[in-house]
């Protein structure tokens, strides 16, 4: 069963699969984890969708690495 990226509860353990979508729900989660100034850019979105096994925790960690901690 595919994850509901629009309304599902996202945690750091949520796996990224081929059904991944950058929804408002994902943006809220990333803002909570990385700070309200966090933004997606095309290279970061390509990294997420590269097909490598990842979780949302990996995405948060990479987002913080790329953008630095923002408050």
Of 27, 33, 31, 41, the closest CA to residue 13 belongs to 33
Span 50-62, pLDDT tens digits: 999 999 999 999 9
pLDDT band at 10 (very low <50, low <70, confident <90, very high): very high
pLDDT at 70: 55
Q: What is the pTM of this model?
A: 0.90
């Amino acid at each position: 069963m595919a994850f509901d990226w629009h309304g599902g509860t996202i945690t750091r353990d949520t796996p990224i699969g081929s059904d991944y979508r950058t929804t408002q729900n994902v943006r809220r989660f990333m803002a909570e984890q990385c700070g309200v100034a966090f933004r997606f850019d095309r290279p970061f979105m390509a990294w997420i969708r590269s097909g490598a096994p990842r979780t949302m925790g990996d995405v948060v960690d990479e987002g913080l690495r790329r953008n630095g901690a923002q408050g």
